[in-house]
Amino acid sequence: MKRFINWIFVLSMILPFSSCEDNKDITEEGNLQNSVSAVREPGSDSYTLKFARSGEWTVYQGTSPDSIDMSASVAVTTEDSVVISGLNTEQRYYFAVEFNGDMENRVVVSETQLPIAGQPNFADMGGIVTTDGRTVKWGKIYRSGELSKLTDDDVVYMAGLKLNAIIDFRFPEEKEEAKDRLLAGVDTISIPIADGSYDEATIIKWLMTGDAEAFDTMLIHVNKVLVTQEQENYAEFFDHLEKGETYLFHCTKGKDRAGFAAAMFLSALGVDRETVIDNYLKSNEYLSPVTEATINMVPSYIDGELLRSILEVRAEYIQTAFDIIDKEYGGVEKYLRNNLKVDIEKLKDLYLN
């Protein structure tokens, strides 16, 4: 986004955030991973685990996916949810959840939307199931919006994520307007990606003239630009991921440039397109309080609802990207291999269980 949209966003960031739960219904069918979810509010010492299958659930906990204490459960329930309390607010937790006492029916879960008070659109890409039944590893790849409003508690919490590097898709002028709060010992990698959006004067003109069609098509244009003109930069992004380290990647709001990156990452791992698009749309849930506050700040003589189509994401935005990839590049796998130079097999080895 250009300065006008960034300015609106910065103003809206002044308002307090409230964490949004993942409201998407969890299916009772298919992979057990899709039947369990975890939610944690910023600053809370509790997790709420939700279960979509009827039966007995046994819960074990740890501070990493590989350090869960399986010698003693922290909860056993036949209810559709359970609260795990008394946890360290500065620490992220992971839970091994066993169904009906069957070790073969055991999955690991944690929160998808992380409890970061200063950036609500902060998500772990883990826990998503691929078409071959494998699962994206928890705690390896994260995506978010800019990090200028991190609180002291956020910084302490993020230190526990053990990030190796943060990949920033913003241009220097964007970084200057909203400087990321740096994390000790975490490298920052700059990969500036043009979002293809329009200048401040054009956007103001659209607002003043009520040009809804222009706003509705703006992010469709942005996704065309990302697919066709930013291949070299996204190839560099994947070069870093193929090192197998723990990364956070972000743009300004975490929904467009980072949203496309997330869609390509999940596609490379073999996640089906419907799930990829559902994941892309989560930004609307996480950013909802910010979006509503921004629209409400617009003067009454201007229709603030015009901004909704660029403050949110829509399925047709990322579908436009996929349509171009399918038509002009022979499908997403060929696009990833030939145009973004992705070693798909290596990426799967690194980031799938």
Q: How many CB atoms lie within 10 A of CB 327?
A: 9
Domain identity same for 45 and 181:
no
Q: Residue 350 in contact with residue 274, Cβ under 8 Å?
A: no
| 312 and 172 both lie in a single domain | yes
Q: Do 286 and 279 form a contact (C-beta atoms < 8 A)?
A: no
pLDDT in tens, 70-103: 999 999 999 999 999 999 999 999 999 999 988 7
The residue among 111, 146, 173 that closes a domain is 111
Residue indicated by tokens 């609500």: 120
What's the rounded Cα separation, in Å, for the pair 303 and 169?
Answer: 30
Closest C-alpha to 20, from 292, 256, 315: 292
For residue 297, the model assigns a pLDDT of 80
DSSP string, 61-73: EESSTT---TTS-
Reference 107, options 126, 131, 80, 86; nearest CA is 126
- Using one digit for the tens of pLDDT, what is the confidence trace for 121-177? 999 999 999 999 899 999 999 999 999 999 999 999 999 999 999 999 999 988 998
Q: Are residues 88 and 143 in the same domain?
A: no
- CATH number, domain of 52, equals 2.60.40.10
* Pair 47, 119 in one domain: no
Question: 345 and 257, same structural domain?
Answer: yes
Q: Beta strands 57-62 and 75-77: pairing type?
A: antiparallel
CA distance 247 to 25: 28
Dig out the tokens for 130 from the structure.
């691929």
Q: What is the reported pTM?
A: 0.86
Number of domains composing the chain? 2
Does one domain contain both 158 and 118?
Answer: yes
Cβ(318)–Cβ(277) under 8 Å?
Answer: yes
Q: Is 153 in the same domain as 288? A: yes
90 and 170 inside one domain: no
Claim to verify: residue 297 and residue 233 sit in the same structural domain = yes
Final residue in a domain of this structure, among 42, 77, 111: 111
| DSSP 8-state secondary structure symbol assigned to residue 339 | I
Tens-binned pLDDT, residue by residue, of the chain (353 aa): 444 444 444 434 433 343 334 433 333 456 788 899 999 998 899 999 999 999 999 999 999 998 999 999 999 999 999 999 999 999 999 999 999 988 778 899 999 999 999 999 999 999 999 999 899 999 999 999 999 999 999 999 999 999 999 999 999 988 998 999 989 999 999 999 986 565 566 666 666 666 666 667 778 888 999 999 999 999 999 999 999 999 999 999 999 999 999 999 999 999 999 999 999 999 999 999 998 888 888 777 777 777 788 888 999 999 999 999 999 999 999 999 999 999 999 999 999 99
The verdict on 140 and 232 lying in the same domain is yes
Nearest-angstrom CA–CA distance, 323 and 319: 6
Give residue 37's domain range.
23-111
The CA distance from 119 to 154, in Å, is 9
Q: How far apart are CA 26 and CA 129, in angstroms?
A: 13
- Do residues 170 and 76 share a domain? no
**Do residues 117 and 170 share a domain?**
yes
The pLDDT of residue 40: 92
Burial 256-291 (b: 16+ CB within 10 A, else e): bbbbbbbbbbbbbbbbebebbbebbbbbbbbbebbb
In degrees and rounded to multiples of 5, residue 118 shows phi and psi of: -90, 0
The domain boundary, picked from 66, 85, 111, lies at: 111
